[in-house]
């Protein structure tokens, strides 16, 4: 059996039979436990996000960063290749119904990421240099007292995001510029690697300053481009929504009996791409939310929820652009093929499909627009993911040379990724992202009483059933601050 076949088989077990249920399950659990906090506190969360908006906040330092800088860093990690290439990958392999399951992932993910932010704030600390740090490794060790599980998580996130994940981002940037501007992939890879090196050497101050400026700006310009495309495809918007809802539960009704797409496939791909987009439950964004300077943990929890919402809007617009463009092209071609996805045949996979959808409206400029959008989206993700991984390098290694050595590895990986086949990179990313979820989900479940008490301001034992479960009978270990 080849390495790629083995990888595919393992992913099938991990995603189809384990993570789909775990991720949705923990989201449903927190939605019920916190009484639908993503609905109940949506207005409060939106107001908190907009009130803290700033393109030039106070410089971050060892004590942390502003709340808006923290959410910008978190969104930088969330809004990347997964938002531009992810919907295309999901739609082409799982049909338009995959977008519905991405919505499901985002809705329940808002409750999950709220819990992650609460725990990150509750158990944050300072490392030996005085740098504010926090994240799953810290709340696993301090909250659960399980050192080996914290170490396992730290190793997995360094591999999943700092190395493999950032290779996905770099690979996608290089592929996009090769298609649109015929720039050799190694040239783009070298350019991105140099920029990454310049920013990461500056530490948290440079990272926070970069993300608070670039994230709102790039999101705004991308949304304008998507809205223009949808305005041009306005007659296909309602059919697109219809296709999404019908295909989520009956793919053959939209794509024809020969499509071979099942509900489970649409669900798996939608949730997998949804996780890769919003990162709820993955354990990545808590590293940014942990160092936010806020008065109470729940304040940052609300901000964290809005990060998932913003990502969901971008994913939705990307998906609608692809589906409406496919419907437009299919109708214009007069094809007898019952599946509008046939219009994209021969256009490649992932980001190239998204580029093609924009090119239908803007011509060659559309492909260039996506290439530059991806440059900013994916580059900001590289910076955000680097910061998450660096936090865990600090957790694992006390020697002062550990971070500089890791920076060198990241830069080399970002450059080298431009030469790797995209399918293998995506598969490895899915694999390590999936493995990373397991320790974090364990902590989210066992530390649920802490999240409940911080949010509801009452003892967790009042919760029916929860207070009677054996795993919750002993009061969890409090943080050093609590």
Percent over 70 (pLDDT), the chain: 84
374 versus 455: the higher-pLDDT residue is 455
476 in any annotated domain: no
Q: Which residue has tokens 């981002």?
A: 169
Check: CB of residue 131 under 8 Å from CB of residue 391.
no
Alpha-carbon separation of residue 451 from 139, 183, 446 (angstroms): 12, 49, 10
Query: Is the model's pLDDT at 467 over the cut of 70?
Result: no
Check: CB of residue 310 under 8 Å from CB of residue 75.
yes
Tens digit of pLDDT for each residue in 111-146?
999 999 999 999 988 877 777 889 999 999 998 889
Query: Which pTM was predicted?
Result: 0.86
Q: Tell me the three state secondary structure of residue 481.
A: coil
Label residue 313 exposed, middle or buried (CB < 10 Å: 0-12, 13-18, 19+). middle
351 in any annotated domain: no
pLDDT at residue 119, as a whole number:
95
Query: Is the model's pLDDT at 344 over the cut of 60?
Result: yes
Tens digit of pLDDT for each residue in 412-421?
988 988 777 6
Query: Is the model's pLDDT at 481 over the cut of 50?
Result: no
Tens digit of pLDDT for each residue in 2-43?
777 777 777 777 876 788 788 889 999 999 999 999 999 999
Check: CB of residue 130 under 8 Å from CB of residue 62.
yes
DSSP type of residue 142:
I
pLDDT at residue 479, as a whole number:
45
371 in any annotated domain: yes
353 in any annotated domain: no
Tens digit of pLDDT for each residue in 280-326?
888 988 998 888 888 888 889 999 999 899 889 998 999 999 999 88
Backbone φ, ψ for residue 251 (5° rounding): -55, -35
Count of all residues that appear for the chain in the document: 482
Could you tell me the pLDDT band of residue 477, with boundaries at 50, 70 and 90?
Answer: very low
295 in any annotated domain: yes
448 in any annotated domain: yes
Query: Is the model's pLDDT at 238 over the cut of 60?
Result: yes
User: Considering its fold, how many domains does the chain have in total?
Assistant: 1
pLDDT at residue 474, as a whole number:
44
Tens digit of pLDDT for each residue in 445-464?
999 988 988 888 766 666 65
475 in any annotated domain: no
What CATH number is associated with residue 214?
A: 1.20.1740
Q: The domain containing residue 249 runs over which residues?
A: 10-55+70-331+359-462
């Amino acid at each position: 059996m080849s390495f790629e076949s083995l990888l595919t088989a393992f992913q099938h077990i991990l995603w189809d039979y384990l993570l789909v249920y775990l991720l949705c399950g923990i989201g449903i659990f927190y939605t019920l436990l916190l009484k639908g906090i993503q609905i109940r506190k949506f207005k409060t969360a939106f107001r908190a996000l907009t009130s803290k908006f700033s393109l030039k906040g106070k410089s971050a330092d060892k004590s942390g960063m502003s709340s808006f800088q923290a959410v910008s860093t978190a969104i930088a990690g969330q809004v990347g290749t997964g938002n531009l290439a992810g919907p295309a990958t999901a739609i082409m392999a799982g049909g338009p119904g995959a977008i519905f399951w991405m919505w499901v992932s985002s809705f329940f993910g808002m409750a999950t990421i709220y819990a992650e932010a609460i725990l990150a704030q509750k158990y944050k600390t300072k490392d030996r240099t005085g740098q504010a740090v926090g994240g799953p490794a810290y709340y696993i060790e301090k909250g659960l007292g399980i050192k080996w599980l914290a170490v396992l998580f730290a190793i997995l996130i360094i591999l999943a995001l700092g190395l493999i994940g950032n290779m996905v981002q770099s690979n996608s940037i290089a592929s996009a510029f090769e298609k649109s501007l015929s720039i050799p992939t190694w040239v783009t890879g070298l350019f991105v690697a140099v920029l990454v090196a310049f920013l990461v050497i500056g530490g948290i101050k440079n990272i926070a300053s970069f993300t608070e400026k670039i994230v709102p700006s790039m999101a705004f310009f991308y949304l304008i481009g998507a809205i223009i495309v949808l305005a041009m495809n306005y007659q296909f918007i309602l059919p697109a929504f219809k296709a999404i809802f019908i295909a989520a539960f009956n793919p053959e009704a939209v794509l024809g009996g020969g499509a071979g797409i099942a509900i489970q496939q649409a669900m798996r791909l939608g949730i997998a791409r949804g996780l890769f987009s919003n990162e709820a439950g993955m354990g990545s964004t808590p590293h940014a939310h942990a160092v936010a300077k806020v008065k109470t943990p729940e304040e940052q929890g609300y901000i964290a929820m809005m990060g998932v919402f913003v990502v969901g809007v971008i994913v939705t617009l990307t998906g609608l652009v692809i589906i409406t463009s496919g419907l437009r092209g299919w109708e214009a071609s007069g094809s007898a093929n019952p599946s509008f996805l046939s219009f994209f045949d021969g256009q490649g996979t992932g980001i190239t499909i998204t580029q093609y959808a924009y090119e239908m409206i803007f011509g060659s400029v559309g492909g260039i627009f996506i290439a530059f959008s991806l440059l900013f989206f994916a580059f900001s993700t590289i910076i955000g993911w680097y910061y998450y991984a660096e936090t865990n390098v600090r957790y694992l290694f006390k020697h002062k040379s550990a971070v500089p050595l890791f920076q060198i590895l990241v830069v080399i990986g970002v450059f080298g990724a431009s030469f790797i086949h995209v399918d293998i990179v995506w598969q490895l990313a899915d694999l390590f992202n999936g493995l990373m979820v397991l320790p974090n989900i364990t902590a989210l479940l066992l530390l649920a009483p802490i999240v409940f008490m911080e949010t509801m301001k009452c003892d967790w034992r009042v919760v029916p059933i929860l207070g009677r479960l054996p795993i919750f009978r002993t009061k969890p270990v409090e943080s050093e601050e609590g």
